[in-house]
Amino acid sequence: MLSGSLLACRQFAGYNAVMYSRLLVAPKSSFFLFGPRGTGKSTWVAEKVSAHKTINLLREDLYQEYLVDPRKLRDELSTLRPGQWVVIDEVQRLPQLLNEVHLQIEERRLRFALTGSSARKLRMRGVNLLAGRAVRRGLHPLTPQELGKDFKLETMLRFGSIPLVIAAENPGDTLKAYTETYLKEEIQAEAVVRNLPGFARFLKVAALFHGQEIDATNIARDAQVARTTVQGYLEVLQDTLIGQELPAFEARLRVRERQKSKLYFFDPGVVRAIKGYRGAVTHEERGSLLEGLVHQWLRAHQDYQDLFDDLHYWASAHTGSRVEVDFLISQGRGFHALEVKATERLRPEHFSGLRAISELKGIKQRVLLYTGTRKYRTSEGIDVVPVEQFFTKIKDYL
């Protein structure tokens, strides 16, 4: 009988994903599809793209063959007809293949679906990004709308919604294996950082800042690395799609008034696994985990449905009585303000940020998302909406 951790590792290597209808629509022309490991990129591409050739660069034998001779791709595609699809999984492992891909798009009119779990090597100077001949799309963990009747907020807060984890018999063991695989394959094998123990310490400390302003000095002290190293490690988190910074909204602020960005990991289950939390979600965790879920879902809908232009958080410039709003959504010349509260019982002070932001020019709507069940509007014009209802019917609000 397999142990839990071994079973989780085998599930990670090749799992039977639970099939849900994803919101992402397949482009008709060549595209890059980026997303963290386990979000279902290969499954989605297999369902949406009728590929005549599939190349998985996670296969070490294929990787070595193309590493020695990238032009081998040209020979293998020579029999395909214009308009036919070619899938290359984990293309970031061999960016030099993109020169051949570019040639095949230009000269033979082939179409390519190029998946990747990291953009780091593709950001290097000199890498051919196909000069706009391939659009970019992102795939995220499952949203409430995609999960439908299977959505359970407590489960999402504890284990997240990566399809890989949802499909697992033991989500906790799978998440543990996931974080270990991230360090081994994305960081060590790709030689992203030289000091893997230092990065592992940084990762645990950074997880404690999930949903908070980034304090590089404190992170550096607790992780026992240099402050300049922390800046590089934060870039690694973003390049490998594990973390994302949310900038503060700045409207004609002087430099000395600029706010720090906030850090969000892409999935609450991953955050808890990095921190080593395996049990039920504690009261202290709920706020940042729910806020992170909302951030994750907003980013997903931005990529899938192009519902808004940009995303920030907002903080008042008054140092004596600073208040914040978790998310400020830019849509044309207007804004939607979202505040997130992990509680079923709201108190007057929960509305303080939304009251303060009413002075910002262009505010269209102020919404407080919470874990209760009743939807209503306050006398001040603030919409109170259950968080699940908001995201299952997000087009009604944005």
| β-pairing verdict for 262-265 and 85-89 | unpaired
> Which residues, 6 or more positions from 51, have their beta carbon under 8 angstroms from its beta carbon?
45, 85, 86, 87, 113
Residue 104 structure tokens:
């095949």
Pair 268, 157: CB distance under 8 Å: yes
The 10s digit of each residue's pLDDT in 367-389 is 999 999 999 999 999 999 999 99
CA dihedral 296, 298, 304, 309 (to 10 degrees): -130
Helix (H, G, I), strand (E, B) or coil at 249: coil
Residue 145's pLDDT is 93
Residue 322's pLDDT is 80
- Looking at every residue in the chain, the average pLDDT score rounds to 88
Which stretches of the chain drop beneath a pLDDT of 70? 1-18, 124-132, 189-192, 252-258, 318-320
Q: Which residue's entry shows tokens 């995609």? A: 146
> Which residues, 6 or more positions from 353, have their beta carbon under 8 angstroms from its beta carbon?
314, 323, 324, 325, 326, 337, 339
Residue 218's pLDDT is 95
* 63/96 Cα distance (integer angstroms): 12
Residue 4's pLDDT is 37
Question: Model pTM greater than 0.85?
Answer: yes
Residue 15's pLDDT is 43
* 328/70 Cα distance (integer angstroms): 45
DSSP one-letter string for 262-319: EEEES-HHHHHHHHT--SSPPHHHHHHHHHHHHHHHHHHHHHHH---SEEEEEE-S-G
Tell me the β-bridge partners of 335. 330, 363
Domains of the chain and CATH, by start: 25-138 (3.40.50.300), 144-292 (1.10.10), 307-396 (3.40.1350.10)
Residue 124's pLDDT is 63
Percent over 70 (pLDDT), the chain? 90
